[in-house]
Amino acid sequence: MKRMTDGASPQRRGGTVVTRKAPAGGGPAAGSPGGATASPGPARGGDRVRGAGVPGRKSRPGGGGWAPWLYLAPALVVIGGLLVYPVYQLGLISFLEYTQAQVSGGEPTTFQGFGNYATLFGDEQFWQVLLATVVFAAACVVSTLAVGCALAVLLTRVRALPRLALMLAALGAWATPAITGSTVWLLLFDPDFGPVNRMLGLGDHSWTYGRYSAFALVLLEVVWCSFPFVMVTVYAGIRAVPGEVLEAAALDGASQWRIWRSVLAPMLRPILVVVTIQSVIWDFKVFTQIYVMTNGGGIAGQNLVLNVYAYQKAFASSQYSLGSAIGVVMLLILLAVTLVYLRLLRRQGEEL
């Protein structure tokens, strides 16, 4: 047998002599237990190491750095100028004594702290207006969602021509300015010339004289100009639902109401969250419809809501600090309602 040299060690496998050369450093032979080493080959597919071969470079899991903020910078500047700064000024004025005397420069502006809020919370009319605003906004939101969702389902069941006509009519109502729509509704329900009283045989009944009838009239106008947003948004969500799901529910004998409650509503919950929050914000700060249709808040202020109440305090009474305090209270209420609503959805396992 030939003598092995250079540190080669023979191994016998099945009658064949296999020669493995030991490494020069005297370490364990390649392929031996505890000392197996492999020369790295070229990276393939997912085996490639990020940042390998670049000395001094570290990979960052998040990546991106300042690039996303640079893209968002223009929008953040606009939002800061149109939203953050006015809110800051609103909060600042609410802590000052700021009336017509301070505006004209006749008296110096003084810091009141929470004095304006104490005056506001001590006013019984404020609590009455707040309660009326909450009830009215809740009724508007529920009615808007009900009408919008019902018409969205109807759009999926009618043919192309009626669907187009309904969409155009709804978008026309949505595009109508609030002051124009309010004036048209006043003409429709006018006690002398309105066609509604003639059709219903009510004679010269005034819809804006009574408190609840005036609120009901404004509610109809608010729903009329608000439901198209809900209808279009929910209709788009329904069209995205697979048809097989609805067909399977129908084959199982589910009614239309059961399909909506048990199939569509859970699948459309993220969309319903968006339209609900938007409706709460819009309806809670209604101003134009109330101001135009009730002539500034109704007889003796019986149809006041917080937005109109703040306008009267700030501009009719020149108490700008009290008007700002009402605005801050409205902002905090809307933030609280939105956060509580989102928190409840998070607890139910919804990802928003």
Q: Sketch the domain layout of the chain as residue ranges.
A: 135-303
Residues 6+ apart with CB under 8 A from 111: 95, 96, 97
> Where do we find the tokens 């329900």?
189
If one compares 153 and 55, the residue with the highest pLDDT of the two is 153
pLDDT at residue 348, rounded to an integer:
62
Least confident of 2-11, 60-69, 149-158, 209-218: 2-11
Mean pLDDT throughout 290-303? 91
pTM: 0.74
Question: How far, in Å, are 76, 266, 327, 331, 339 from residue 90 at the CA level?
Answer: 20, 39, 7, 10, 22
pLDDT tens per residue across span 19-38: 444 444 444 444 444 444 44
CATH number of 135-303: 1.10.3720.10
Report DSSP letters for 285-331, one per residue: T--HHHHHHTTTTSGGGTT--HHHHHHIIIIIS-BHHHHHHHHHHHH
Residue 352 has pLDDT above 70, yes or no: no
Q: Is the CB of residue 338 less than 8 Å from the CB of residue 282?
A: no
- Residue given tokens 């339209």 in the structure block: 275
Higher pLDDT, 350 or 272: 272
Tokens linked to 193? 């010339």
